[in-house]
Structure 1
Amino acid sequence: MSIPKFVFQKQVRSCTLISSNFNPLCLLLNQKTKFSDIMKLIQIAWTRKVKFIRLFNTDGQEVEESDLINITKGTTLFVELCNKDSKPNIIQQQYDIIKKIGEGGQGIVLLGRHKITKELVALKKISQQTWSGQEIDGVSQEQLILKELDHKNIVKLYENYSTSQATQNQREITMVMEYLNGGSLLNQANSKLTEGDARLYSKQIVDAIAYCHEKHIVHCDLKLENIMLTSTSSKEIKIIDFGVSTYAGQQKQIDSVVGTLSYLAPEVLSSSYKFVQPSQDVWAVGCIIYGLVFGRLPFDGNNPSETYRNIIQCNYSIPKKTVSKDLINLLSQIFVYHPKERANIFDIQTHSWFKEQTKLFKLTLTGIGFGNGRSSSVTKLNSYRQSQDEDQILLISKRKIIYSRRSVTRLDKISFVNKIRSQ
């Protein structure tokens, strides 16, 4: 099939323009090429009058007019044509919607498939109907933070769009994000994980949060539900939902509390808490590690009041006698009431629990008693194991595991915390 050529003045680069139901169009671009020039050529070559066009590369990312100067020779571009007075709705025009995969206080999450590249994405759609002034700020903050983050264990934001619906005088924000289909770590915590598997997941979480803290970003709502597996066959995780994230040192919202009660650090529940601190993420990481190892959360009580008291008193137990001393030591450095005395995320990164060092015992032939078939070194080994087990046997809580919790958003009044304190 021949491709008609339309030459711009001072041609420098060529690319192929593709649209549904039309033959490919070869464009020769120069440094002064504008969208209006491309629209004129479309009108001539495809005899189609359009009022707006949108260009996309083969990865599904939108190409703005200012990006045309960076288009290299041989590039293929996909074009969407619109003859209406407004830009086409991105969800309807660019993606096939497969199903709804989530819903929260800010909006819904849809599973979409790009019509051209067939890539699966998560579309976080937020309508003005659910907004207040603080939530609008939160959405903008989440977009800025995700654009700043580039880590293998943090969900990626591909694009974000803000559209207006003139007939309803409403705005809508759509965030095009990486699709993760492996489920949350909450499902893993409800299963029987080995300490080694828990360590594997925990190390990825700690590395990602250390990366955030290096950039002075505090997640503020770390929990098992916000850690996703990339696929059902993978053990790679990614942290999601930066909707209430902010920068360390930023003043907290007045009369509001951010996070989920079971993961909140003592300082967050304190009336003297004024500024966001990385230490609150560290506490939440400790809760996640504990949940992965033991299948329950460390401070959960039978009701919010009991959970609150357990957090304030740092009251937790070790419900297994088979865990390592390194893990017990790590948790003791995390679950510390005063944030200045608590380990920071970089201390946790270098903790011995993550080094996976296996203790080896050297057996010698010295003192072998052939009469009973046991060596003194074996006897010492058994004695060591017994003492190690005794050291690790601590109080086992019989409280029922509670996993039915909701996130506390910026708009939730802190009055419920005050009510708990008074009980």
Structure 2
Amino acid sequence: MIKVDEEDPIGEVEPSFPYRDVQIRRGVDIRDLYDLQEEIGRGKFGTVYRCREKSTGLRLAAKMVSTPKREDRRNVEREVDVMRVLQHPRLIQLYDAFDNGKTMCVVLELIEGGELFERVIDDDFILTEKSCTVFMRQICEGMEFIHSKHILHLDMKPENILCLTKTGNRIKIIDFGLARKFDPTKKLQVLFGTPEFVAPEVVNFDQIGFGTDMWSIGVICYVLLSGLSPFMGDTDVETMANVTIAKYDFDDEAFNEISDDAKDFIEKLLVKDIERRMTAAQALRHKWLQGVAAVTQLSTAKLKRYVIKKRWIKAVNTIIALRRMGAKLEPDDAGAA
């Protein structure tokens, strides 16, 4: 039976490589310097492969992004520019970057512990409210640093929180493909993100800010504790309508064993008015993250159903995307989705 270490991580794990000031290498083939290995992930913006640096033997991850349009290239350049300043133990680290014209590649720290939610629904894992505070505190630490560099992540969701190892309790925030530099004196509006986790100001195309990320963290916390999604509807349109109303509750039996401090933490994040939400620094000072949380085991049955549903949606979306690109799928492949 795996029981997460419920003590906050002390000190920091020595990184696999020192922080690097990465510049994009133009006209250089990544295969000259790295051995590309098996695919380990696929998303809307690229495919991730395990890789090994030939000169050092260092194991890393290489995200390959097709850049047929100038805008595609600018997006990757922006991601690299953002990641160059985000050197922190709670954030995935940048190692190298390449541009060969048609494809760009971002070489990243390899994180092998898997997605946080996938880990905690394992049959051998014991999830408690205390362990949730350990994870949420680290998420807020990472976000506090991101915001201190005047950057917004803008795609905070469970898939973008990885465990550093399969047995420890350290996490890392990943995927800065939608991140933006933020000047509070200038109006910034965006219309992207995952409907279930985006804040009301995104749906309404209003001014966004640091609080936009904090709303998403509130949703993540709600789901982690209960296995329920506070605003999820049957369609994206319905979900976004629920977000704009910003009404939710703790009426489900899943919250019967959850402390008032935990609910207060969520309530101070899921506030419709962006100006009234807790900042990352305030969240770290909240009683729930500072106090002694309950160690009672939480049921993960609903969280497991939530994750399984997400897997199916992701698989179907992958099949649709491949078909749009003209890929021919074998009957078994289509059936597996």
User: What TM-score does the superposition give when structure 1 sets the normalisation length?
Assistant: 0.60
Count of residue correspondences = 277
Equivalent residue for 2:115, pick from 173, 176, 184: 184
Tell me the distance in 1 between the aligned counterparts of 2:235 and 2:27. 50
Query: Which residue identity is paired with 1:224?
Result: P
Query: Which residue identity is paired with 1:150?
Result: Q
1:231 counterpart SS class: coil
Note the 1:68-147 alignment, pairs <5 A: 89-90=29-30, 92-129=31-68, 132-147=69-84
The reply on whether 1:316 has 2:248 as its aligned counterpart is yes
Equivalent residue for 1:156, pick from 93, 108, 119: 93
The reply on whether 1:220 has 2:157 as its aligned counterpart is no
Note the 1:187-336 alignment, pairs <5 A: 187-188=118-119, 190=121, 193-249=127-183, 252=188, 257-271=191-205, 273=206, 275-318=207-250, 319=252, 320-336=255-271
Deviations 1:24-66 (A, max 9, x none): xxxxxxxxxxxxxxxxxxxxxxxxxxxxxxxxxx9699999xx
Deviations 1:199-255 (A, max 9, x none): 1111100000011111111000000000111121222111111001002246556xx
Q: Which residue of 1 aligns with 2:104?
A: 173
Deviations 1:166-203 (A, max 9, x none): xxxx4332211100111112314545621111111111
Query: Which residue identity is paired with 2:29?
Result: N
Q: Which residue of 2 aligns with 1:356?
A: 291
Q: Pick closer, same or farther for the CA change 1:60–1:236 going to 2, 3 Å.
A: closer
Query: Which residue identity is paired with 2:94?
Result: L
Deviation of 1:309 after TM superposition, in Å, equals 2.8
Equivalent residue for 1:345, pick from 251, 259, 280: 280
1:183 counterpart SS class: coil
> Is the 8 Å Cα contact of residues 247 and 276 (structure 1) preserved in structure 2?
no
> Is the 8 Å Cα contact of residues 193 and 292 (structure 1) preserved in structure 2?
no
> Is the 8 Å Cα contact of residues 189 and 296 (structure 1) preserved in structure 2?
no
Q: Which runs of 4+ in 1 moved over 3 A?
A: 58-64, 188-192, 249-253
Tell me the distance in 2 between the aligned counterparts of 1:62 and 1:336. 38
The alignment's C-alpha RMSD in Å is: 2.9
Deviations 1:249-304 (A, max 9, x none): 46556xx6221000011111114x1x431111000010111121112322112332
Q: Which moves more between the two structures, 345-354 or 312-321?
A: 312-321
Tell me the distance in 2 between the aligned counterparts of 1:216 and 1:63. 18
1:281 counterpart SS class: helix
Tell me the distance in 2 between the aligned counterparts of 1:161 and 1:119. 17
Deviations 1:114-155 (A, max 9, x none): 2232221001122323xx333322211110111101110100
Query: Which residue identity is paired with 1:177?
Result: L
Tell me the distance in 2 between the aligned counterparts of 1:240 and 1:95. 22
Deviation of 1:358 after TM superposition, in Å, equals 6.3
Q: Which residue of 2 aligns with 1:372?
A: none
Between the aligned residues of both structures, percent identity stands at 27
> Is the 8 Å Cα contact of residues 82 and 181 (structure 2) preserved in structure 1?
no
- Structure 1 residue runs of 5 or longer lacking an equivalent are 1-57, 65-85, 164-169, 360-396, 409-423
Tell me the distance in 2 between the aligned counterparts of 1:277 and 1:405. 29
1:121 counterpart SS class: strand
Q: Which has the larger radius of gyration?
A: 1
> Is the 8 Å Cα contact of residues 109 and 125 (structure 1) preserved in structure 2?
yes
1:211 counterpart SS class: helix
Tell me the distance in 2 between the aligned counterparts of 1:218 and 1:158. 21
Tell me the distance in 1 between the aligned counterparts of 2:202 and 2:191. 8
- Larger relative contact order, structure 1 or 2 (CA cutoff 8 Å, min sep 6): 2
> Is the 8 Å Cα contact of residues 189 and 294 (structure 1) preserved in structure 2?
no
Tell me the distance in 2 between the aligned counterparts of 1:135 and 1:120. 27
Query: Which residue identity is paired with 2:160?
Result: N
Deviation of 1:93 after TM superposition, in Å, equals 2.2
Query: Which residue identity is paired with 2:281?
Result: F
Q: Pick closer, same or farther for the CA change 1:338–1:214 going to 2, 3 Å.
A: same
> Is the 8 Å Cα contact of residues 75 and 177 (structure 2) preserved in structure 1?
yes
User: What TM-score does the superposition give when structure 2 sets the normalisation length?
Assistant: 0.74
- Structure 2 residue runs of 5 or longer lacking an equivalent are 1-15, 295-301, 318-337
Query: Which residue identity is paired with 1:185?
Result: L
